[in-house]
Amino acid sequence: MTIETQVEYRYYLTDLLSNDIISEVPFKGVSYERANRRAGAFSGSIPFIKSTKGLDLYEATMPGRTGLYIMRNGVCVWGGIIWSRSYDAISQTLSVNGAEFMSYFYHRHIWQTIQYGSDYIGVSTFAVESGIGTITTEFPQGFYIGQKIAVSYTNPIVDGVQTITEINSTTSFSFTTTSGDGSGPSTSGAVRSLIDTYDFARDLIFRASTDLSGLNFANEVIKPAKELQAAIISKERSAGVVTLQTSEDHSIIPGQEIELVEIDSELDGFHIISEVPNKRTIRLILDGPGIPFSAVPGIRTQNVQSKQLLDNVATLTLDDEHNATVGQTVIVTGVDAFFTGRLDTTFNGRFTIIDIPSPNSFSFSSGGILNVGPEGVAGGISLFGSKVIYGDYGSYTANADIGVAFENLDKSGFYQDSQIFRGFEQKTVGEILEQYSNTVEGGFEYRIDCDYDYNTASFSRTFRLFPISLADSPPEGEIYPITAFGAEKIVFEYPGNILSFTVEESAEDAATRFFVVGNIEDLSDDASQPYAGATDRIMLSNPNGRSWPLLDLAEQLDEIEDELTLHAYARDYLYEARPPVGIYNIVANGSLYPQVGTFFPGQWCSIIVDDEFVRQRLASDQEPRSDILIRKIDSYSVVIPDGVPIPEEVQLRLVTDWKVDQSGN
C-alpha cells in the first residue's frame, strides 16, 4: 500500500471575476469538503499580525469577491469562494469560511421567465409512408433537424418521442419510424419540443454567466422596475466600434446589456456595452460598415389626450402631430387606469405602431380583454425617437461570469417536457439544478472541478455532468460486476487505509411504501390533487427472510401533474428509503492510496472490512454481494494537520444507489 512521506499544501487567493491571483496565504487549522450536486465547505485561519501585514489580508480575503484554491503536492484539490470571515482581537486571528464554486449559483436568481422546450402546438395532419412520418402543425413551430419532439393524442403510428430528420416548411417536419403506413387529419393531436437534461443544466449555467442577456421579456408589462432610458443624439461606427452620445447623463456601466431603439437599422437591438468614456457617451463592439458621425433626433415626448381599445387594437390620440410611421416603436406610460374596476390595464408598455389613423393618433396591437372608450386621459405620455433603454435590474454580463467552462457537449439521452421558470418566482440556479437533477428521469450528477495550468500559470473551473445510473439492468438473477462502474479502482480497507469505521442503521425515515403528491395549480383547495404510490412487494413478502411491515413515507412535488410521472418518482424514492437506511462513516488516511486528489464525489468505491458485524450484513439480504461493500462517494471532507500535514483525515459520506447496485429482475 503506497504511502506518501511528504505532503505540501498551498493556498491561493484570486479575484473572483478575473481569476487573477492576488496572493498566497499560509492558512492553518484547515478543513475542506468536496461534494456532489452541492457545495463543499472550507474553513481555515491565519494570524492577523505584523508579520502577515504584507499579505494585505483585509482586501485579499474579502468575502463575496475572492476565490480560493487549494494545491496539494502541486495538484489543485479544491476551489471555491470565501463567503464569510471573523476576526478575534484577543487572539489576533482571522478565521475564513467558504464553499466550492457551485455555491455561487445559489446566489444567482432567475429573474426573468425562461422556457425550455415549447408549448403544445396543434397538429393538423399526420402521415406515415415507407418509414417516413410527416406532421403538419396548425402554426409555425420553429423546430430544427435533430430536435427531439413529443407527439401526443394524434395517432398511435406517430405518437411518442420522435427525432426530426427534415424540415419541409415552417409548419411541417418529418422523422423516421418503424410504424405502418397511414394518414389523416387530427382534431386533438399536439406536438412540443423536448430538451436533453444535460443541455438544460449547461444552458442554465450559461444563462447565469450572462445574467440572462439576450432574452426578451415574455411580457413587457411584467418587467421588474426600474427601466431607464436616455435619448441618443448622435451615432458613429469606426473599425467596428460604435460610439453613441446621449442628451442627458446616463448610469450605464461597462458590461451592461442595453437596447437601442430607432437609432439605425444596423444598430437597433440588444448589445453589451464595452466602454463608458463619460456619463453622456457609450461604446459597443459591432462589426459592420463605417457610419460617419451624424445626428439622430433623440426622444420626442407627447401627451396622450384619449384612448380607445376595440377588438385588441388600441388607439391613442395625442395633443399634437407625432410624425411617426407604421413599424416604429412607441413607449406608452401613464395611460392605464387602475381604479376603474375594469380589466383595461393594457395600454402601458412598448409597442410597434400598426396604423396611423390621423396625424395625431396611432394604433397598436394590445392584449386587452375588455373594449375601452373612447375615453379621456390625464397624465399619459407617449415617447418616440432614438433612445437607449436599460434596466436598473440588469443584465450585467461583465459581473455575472466567474469563468466556469463546460467539459464537453455530450447528451444524456434523456429528454424532458417543457420547463418554465418565471421571473417573479426568484428561484436560484443552484436550487433549480439540485431539484431538477434529482427528479427527472435518468437524473444526473454534477460538480465543478478546478485545475491549475502550469503553462499559463492560471486556475480553471470546469462544470462536469455524470449519469446516475448505468444504461442497462444486469441480467436476470445477476448483479453488476464492480468493474462496471469503476469501484475496483478506489478501495478502502480495514485494517489498512481506514482509520475508523462505524455503521448507523435506522428505520425512522425508511419506507416499504412511498407516496408522491403532485399539484395542479388551477384546482381549488377542495379538489383532489394527483398522487401516486409505489410498494416494495418483495419486502412485504420476503422470500429470503422475515417480511417487513408497511412503513409509509410521502413527498410533495408541486410542479408535477401527471400520475404516471409521479409513480416513477415514488418508485425512485421508495428504493432509496428501503429499511434499514444504513449510514457508513469512514475516516481514511489521506496519505495512503487512494490519496486525496485521486478520487472525486460521484465515484464508486469498494469497502473491505474485516469485522464480524459487516460479515453478518454481507451474509444477509441487505447487500447484493457477500464479499464486498460497494458505495458511492457523495462527499468527503479533509482535515489537514498543522505543521507536517500528514496523515490527513478524510471523512467520507457514502451512499447507495439502487439503480446501479441491484440484482437483475
pLDDT, one tens digit per residue, over 592-633 is 999 999 999 999 999 999 999 989 988 887 788 888 988 889
Quote the CA–CA distance of 310 and 647 in Å, as a whole number.
79
Question: What angle in degrees, to the nearest 10, is found between the helix axes of 429-439 and 197-209?
Answer: 180
pLDDT of residue 663: 53
Give the per-residue pLDDT at 402: 95
Q: How many whole angstroms separate alpha carbon 594 and alpha carbon 603?
A: 13
Q: Which residue has cell 423546430?
A: 143
Is the pLDDT at 527 greater than 70, yes or no? Answer: no
Q: What is the pLDDT of residues 593-603, one digit of tens each?
A: 999 999 999 99
pLDDT of 585 strictly over 90: no
Residue 164 C-alpha cell reads as 426530426
- Give the pLDDT band (50/70/90) at residue 578: confident
> What average pLDDT does this structure show over 332-359?
75
Q: What are the pLDDT digits (tens) for 547-577?
A: 999 999 999 887 677 787 788 888 888 888 8
- pLDDT for residue 2 is more than 50: yes
User: Which residue did the predictor score with more confidence, 58 or 375?
Assistant: 58
Average model confidence (pLDDT) across the chain: 88
The answer on pLDDT for 330 being more than 50 is: yes
Sequence letter at residue 279: K
Task: Read off the pLDDT of residues 377-430 as tens digits, 9 standing for 90 and up.
Answer: 888 889 888 999 998 888 999 999 999 999 888 888 888 877 888 888 899 999
What is the per-residue pLDDT across 6-31, written as a single tens digit (0 to 9) for each? 899 999 999 999 999 999 999 999 99
Contact of 557 with 439, CB cutoff 8 Å: yes
Higher-pLDDT residue of 288 and 223 is 288
Helix and strand numbers, DSSP H then E, in the chain: 6, 44
Is the per-residue pLDDT at 375 higher than 90? Answer: no
Rounded CA gap, 446 and 105, in Å? 13
In 346-463, where does DSSP find H-type helix? Answer: 429-439
Strand order in the sheet with 552-556: 531-535, 513-517, 552-556
Instruction: Taking residues 142-152, report their average pLDDT.
Output: 90
Query: What pLDDT is recorded for position 343?
Result: 46
Q: Which three cell numbers stand for residue 110?
A: 432567475
pLDDT band at 220 (very low <50, low <70, confident <90, very high): low
Predicted confidence at residue 604, as pLDDT, reads 92
Give the 3-state secondary structure of 544-594. CCCCCCCCEEEEECCCCCCHHHHHHHHHHHHHHCCCCEEEEEEEEECCECC
pLDDT of residue 377: 86
> What pLDDT, on a 0 to 100 scale, did the predictor assign at position 215?
79
Rounded mean pLDDT, 305-332: 87
Residue-wise pLDDT tens digits, 117-130: 888 899 999 999 99
pLDDT digits (tens, 9 = 90+) for 381-392: 898 889 999 988
Q: Is pLDDT above 70 for 225?
A: no
Q: What percent of the chain has pLDDT over 70?
A: 94
The pLDDT value recorded for residue 378 is: 85
Per-residue pLDDT tens for 84-98?
A: 999 999 999 999 999
- Given a cut of 80, whether residue 341 has pLDDT beyond it is no
Coil, strand, or helix at residue 103? helix
Three cell numbers written together for 609: 472490512
Single-letter code of the amino acid located at 474: P
**Which pTM does this prediction carry?**
0.84
The pLDDT assigned to 635 comes to 93
Q: Parallel, antiparallel, or unpaired for β 121-129 and 190-193? A: antiparallel
Is the predicted pLDDT of residue 188 greater than 60, yes or no? yes
pLDDT tens across 237-283, in order? 999 999 999 999 999 999 999 999 889 889 999 999 999 999 999 99
Q: For residue range 488-499, list pLDDT tens digits in order.
A: 999 999 999 999
Band of residue 208 on the pLDDT scale cut at 50, 70, 90 = very high
Task: Between 509 and 522, name the one with better pLDDT.
Answer: 509
Backbone angles phi, psi at 181, to 5 degrees: -70, 155
Ranking 204-213, 238-247, 434-443 by mean pLDDT, the lowest is 434-443
Q: Which of 446, 465, 418 is nearest to 148 (CA)?
A: 418
